[in-house]
Amino acid sequence: DWTAQHTLEHLIADIRAKVGDEKVLLAVSGGVDSSTLALLLARAIGDRMTAVFVDHGLLRLGERQEVEQALRPLGKALRVVEASGQFLSALRGVTDPEQKRKIVGREFIRVFEREARQLSAQGYRWLAQGTLYPDVIESAGSGEGSANIKSHHNVGGLPEDLQFELLEPFRYLFKDEVRELALLLGLPEPIRMRHPFPGPGLAIRILGEVTPQKLEILRRADDIFISSLRDWNLYDQVSQAAAILTPMQSVGVVGDERSYGYVLGLRAVSTVDFMTADWARLPLEFLDEVARKITRQVPEIGRVVYDITSKPPATIEWE
């Protein structure tokens, strides 16, 4: 029978046995899996690990600070790499969603490779990843592969001359089990219960070209939506929620003037496996409040719409 405490001890013993006195590198994304893994490794091998967090400038409002705070127990073992300039330049002028995904994936590997090379020179031999059991099954592949309709971006793809031994302590665990470990390891609640967030981040939630101005607008609107979900105790009732900035501008009135503001989409879904999903029946009073707050506090947005399409036929993301 599965108890979190027992599993935790077992995983720690296993990591120590495998790694011996060698050093481990990992990438943290701010999601529950990699954050839990970072805390687990810190517990198991102390400062013989380094966690690299790449700030690609496509994160939500306050997300970087939240991750830094949550991983404070790592001390100097947490290395935050500021790379927003690099990602935003690479994305300039790009409108195709798959192209954006490829660019973010490629730049991520570039940044991570730079860090990995330095650490490899310092004797790091292991690369840890928060792969879960469902990922293992999926990539073993019965070929159904609807998850691969979009090119998902993960670590991997490092060049031949830069080889690490792979450490995947969660490869027999499910997400719920990782969340229980996270609780034992003291990962703060907002990260422990966080919805999934795509690797390319806000780049695929701004339809069309990604610009610093649009990122700014989307961040503020998204923050209002997500904080309101928390305030209304709805956050844990949905599986994922997102604000999407469209390139469309519509007519409105502000005072006596006609105005043109962006159309913002709100999306919230319930799902078990993210392969199919039902649009969330959020209370109308809630949606009303969010739309008012957003248009009041983010004047660049003139109209808010709620997505009532399920998956299939629509995907969860709009790109």
Interface positions with ligand XMP (CB under 6 A): 101, 150, 152-153, 196, 198-200, 240, 274, 311, 315-317
**30 has binding-site annotation:** yes
CB atoms within 10 A of CB 318: 18
**259 has binding-site annotation:** no
Nearer Cβ to ligand XMP, position 138 or 317? 317
256: which DSSP letter?
A: T
How far, in Å, CA of 280 to CA of 13, rounded? Answer: 42
Nearer Cβ to ligand XMP, position 122 or 146? 146
CB of 56 to ligand XMP, least distance (A): 12
CB of 35 to ligand XMP, least distance (A): 15
Strand-pairing partners, residue 257, are 254
Q: Compute and round to an integer the Cα radius of gyration of the chain.
A: 21
**146 has binding-site annotation:** no
Non-local (6+) Cβ contacts of 272 within 8 A are: 239
Nearer Cβ to ligand XMP, position 77 or 204? 204
CB of 152 to ligand XMP, least distance (A): 4
Exposed e or buried b per residue across 131-141, where buried means at least 16 C-beta atoms within 10 angstroms of its C-beta: bbeebeebeee
**34 has binding-site annotation:** yes
* Residue 180 phi, psi (nearest 5): -70, -40
CB of 240 to ligand XMP, least distance (A): 5
**33 has binding-site annotation:** yes
Q: Binding-site residues for ATP, please?
A: 29-35
